[in-house]
């Protein structure tokens, strides 16, 4: 991260230049008033990324422990006992298309357009 600190009055005169600089990943500016941090300017992409990360952390508070467990299971082979997507869908009441002759095939049947009769 490239942190830049600048007073709000200085930032006012350089706003367009600062807005251009923050488009570089990892660059942001802290604006101060009387030496105290008041606001931060960063790219909209980085802001959205931070917000999404916070939402994931809020929705999955133990995600780090879950990832560590899955990593351990992958190394030990225990992941092979995990249910498949087909198992989960069947448990939820979905039925699979038995006409397809491979386990994970996608139907390639296409409808043709009808032509208008004159």
In terms of domains, do 10 and 37 share one? yes
Please give the share of the chain, as a percent, with pLDDT higher than 70: 81
User: 104 falls in which pLDDT band (50, 70, 90)?
Assistant: low
Query: Is 79 a member of any domain?
Result: yes
In angstroms, rounded to a whole number, what is the distance separating the alpha carbons of residues 101 and 88? 20
User: 86 falls in which pLDDT band (50, 70, 90)?
Assistant: confident
**Residue 16, both tokens:** 């367009």
User: 114 falls in which pLDDT band (50, 70, 90)?
Assistant: low
Q: Are the beta carbons of 22 and 29 closer than 8 angstroms? A: yes
Averaged pLDDT, 82-97: 85
In terms of domains, do 59 and 86 share one? yes
Question: Edge-to-edge strand order for the sheet containing 36-41?
Answer: 2-7, 27-33, 36-41
Query: Is 101 a member of any domain?
Result: no
Residue 102 has pLDDT above 60, yes or no: no
Determine the structural domain holding residue 12 and report its residue range: 2-43
In terms of domains, do 54 and 22 share one? no
Q: 3-state secondary structure string, 43-92?
A: CHHHHHHHHHHHHHHHHCCCHHHHHHHHHHHHHHCHHHHCCCHHHHHHHC
Query: Is 105 a member of any domain?
Result: no
Work out the number of other CB atoms within 10 angstroms of the CB of residue 22. Answer: 22
In terms of domains, do 66 and 34 share one? no
In angstroms, rounded to a whole number, what is the distance separating the alpha carbons of residues 13 and 18? 10
CATH no. for residue 20? Answer: 3.40.1620.10
Number of structural domains found in the chain: 2
pLDDT digits (tens, 9 = 90+) for 6-35: 999 999 999 999 999 999 999 999 999 999
Mean pLDDT, the chain, rounded, equals 86
Query: Is 76 a member of any domain?
Result: yes
What is the pTM assigned to this prediction? 0.56
In terms of domains, do 51 and 85 share one? yes
Query: Is 114 a member of any domain?
Result: no
């Amino acid at each position: 991260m490239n942190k830049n600190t600048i007073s709000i009055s200085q930032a006012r005169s350089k706003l367009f230049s600062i807005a251009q600089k923050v488009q570089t990943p990892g660059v942001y500016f802290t604006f101060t008033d009387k030496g105290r941090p008041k606001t931060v300017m960063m790219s909209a992409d980085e802001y959205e990324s931070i917000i999404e990360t916070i939402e994931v952390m809020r929705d999955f508070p133990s995600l780090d422990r879950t990832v560590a467990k899955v990593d351990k299971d992958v190394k030990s082979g225990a992941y092979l006992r995990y249910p498949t997507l087909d198992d989960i869908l069947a448990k939820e009441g979905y039925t699979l298309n038995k006409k397809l002759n491979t386990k994970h095939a996608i139907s390639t049947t296409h409808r043709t357009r009808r032509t208008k009769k004159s």
